[in-house]
A and B are shown apart, each in its own frame.
Chain A
Amino acid sequence: MSTIELILLVIGVDSINSKILLCHECDLLIQNQIIAEGSKLECPRCGHVLYKQKHNTISKTLAYTITALFCFYPAVTESIMTLNMSGFVQQQSLIGGASVLLHEHYYLVAILTFMSSMLIPLLRLLLLFYVTFSLSVNYFHNSLLWSFRLYHQIEEWGMLDVYMLGIIVSVVKLLSMAEIQPGFGLWAYAGLLVTSILATTSLNPHEVWELLLKKKNQQESG
């Protein structure tokens, strides 16, 4: 082992066994904390949740992720709602909506809508599926590390929940001028929203990192 590698030796992982923790939000050094199963550790200075002691969350997350992925295709391609305006009927899907905006040359609005309501939620689900599925079948590859990193980096740019509120507001705005009927796409979209939220909240990222790093060390030493 070279000197650089020696210096780089990890001195503590955020885990129950670790001696040293650093707070993400205020950089406070915290030493020798013991956390009981099922409880969490908060930073005494800024209140940031440092560590959650919750295990076996991976299979649950995997189940929710698969369900969400099943909902995704109909949610995007089926019609969200049907508009009936004195005999004229029109219906539109999510993907159709984005392409209409593109044709009207509102590129930024079209791209923002497409990214935050379709592309990023899909990408996040696929990354989450890859990570949780690999962990549950005991497979390890280095790409899992950046996949899980990317999953967290793009978190706030996926806006399924905001878009759902947008659908509700649009319906209220349209009620005064037309008759509205919900389409199959809307139900699929609601399912996608609920299962994605469940997948995100049921996952304990600390547990995933611990498992990933353990597997990585095993692979390197073995």
Chain B
Amino acid sequence: MGSMTGKEAGLVLCTECHVTHHLIPGVDLKCSCCGAQLHQRKPNSLNRTWALLIASIILFIPANVLIIMNVTYFGQEDPSTIIGGVIILVHHGSYAVAFVVFVASVIVPVFKMLGILMILLSLKYKINITDRQRIRMFRVIDFIGRWSMLDIFVISILAALVNISGLAVITAGNAATAFGSVVVLTMLAANSFDTRLFWDYNYSGAINKTK
């Protein structure tokens, strides 16, 4: 298959309105149709993705160690972490919900961070994974990312609803802020990554520098 990229042909695609333009080197282009900024590749894609990924990995530690939710039931305090919340659900016998929460707040963020890390490392050290595999992995990561917001929503609903002083009060903990940041940062990391770099690397032997 005689495959040629738009970059090699001197073309640039407007990722907003799907119109193809000729590139003029050295000129900052705006799409003549919809006005969006044109880039052949997302600017500083790899650096931005690395930075956001590292920040999210760091924040993932307090998110799991600190208290995410504090339940006061008849004067008795019962703080719990993310994993603790899942264990409580298992003890109550609601296995299906425990599984959903476990997937959304543990498996998904870990999978997502490891996945982005693997993709970045495979580009950096030229590890051989086929592009189809890499893009499939990236699409899964991109799709599942937002679902880890589940735990944040559950806490915000419970804290708002269960607020009967003296009887039962649920408050959010500091881990909620950390965990929310992890979700947002991993979503931003996936957004700043440019999938077209996979093929740049393959066809020209090295990662092309984005401008």
**Taking beta carbons and an 8 Å cutoff, which residues of A are in contact with B?**
4-5, 7-14, 20-22, 24-29, 44-47, 80-81, 83, 85-86, 88, 90-92, 96-98, 100-101, 104, 106, 108-110, 112-113, 116-117, 142, 145-146, 148-149, 152, 156-157, 159, 162-163, 165-170, 172-174, 176-178, 206, 209, 212-213, 216
Rounded to whole angstroms, the CA-CA distance of A206 and B17 in the bound complex is 8
Asked if B167 contacts A169 (CB within 8 A), the reply is: no
Residues of B155-200 at the interface with A, using a CB-CB cut-off of 8 Å, are 155-164, 167-168, 171-172, 176-177, 180-181, 184, 187, 195-196, 198-200
Given contacts A46-B132, A167-B153, 14 further A-B contacts (CB under 8 A): A11-B11, A24-B18, A26-B195, A28-B6, A29-B5, A45-B1, A85-B164, A85-B167, A90-B163, A109-B155, A112-B180, A152-B16, A156-B146, A162-B149
Question: Which chain A residue lies CB-closest to B173?
Answer: A106
Task: List the A side residues contacting B154 at CB < 8 Å.
Answer: 166, 169-170, 173
Q: How far is the CB of B60 from chain A (nearest CB, A)?
A: 15
Asked if A14 contacts B34 (CB within 8 A), the reply is: no
Show 14 residue pairs from A and B whose CB-CB distance is below 8 angstroms, ordered by the A residue: A10-B19, A14-B18, A24-B18, A26-B199, A45-B3, A45-B131, A96-B160, A98-B156, A104-B172, A109-B155, A149-B17, A162-B146, A162-B150, A174-B161
Rounded to whole angstroms, the CA-CA distance of A159 and B184 in the bound complex is 12
Asked if B22 contacts A8 (CB within 8 A), the reply is: yes
Asked if A22 contacts B34 (CB within 8 A), the reply is: no
Question: Which chain A residue lies CB-closest to B30?
Answer: A8
Q: How far is the CB of B141 from chain A (nearest CB, A)?
A: 12
Asked if B177 contacts A108 (CB within 8 A), the reply is: yes
Q: Which of A8, A92, A146 has the most CB of B within 10 A?
A: A8
Q: How far is the CB of B63 from chain A (nearest CB, A)?
A: 12
Question: Which chain B residue lies CB-closest to A12?
Answer: B20
The verdict on A22 contacting B11 (CB below 8 Å), with A10-B20, A109-B172, A167-B157 known, is yes
The verdict on A26 contacting B19 (CB below 8 Å), with A106-B177, A112-B149, A159-B146 known, is no
Shortest 4 CB-CB distances between A and B: which pairs? A166-B153, A97-B160, A14-B18, A22-B6
Rounded to whole angstroms, the CA-CA distance of A137 and B7 in the bound complex is 39
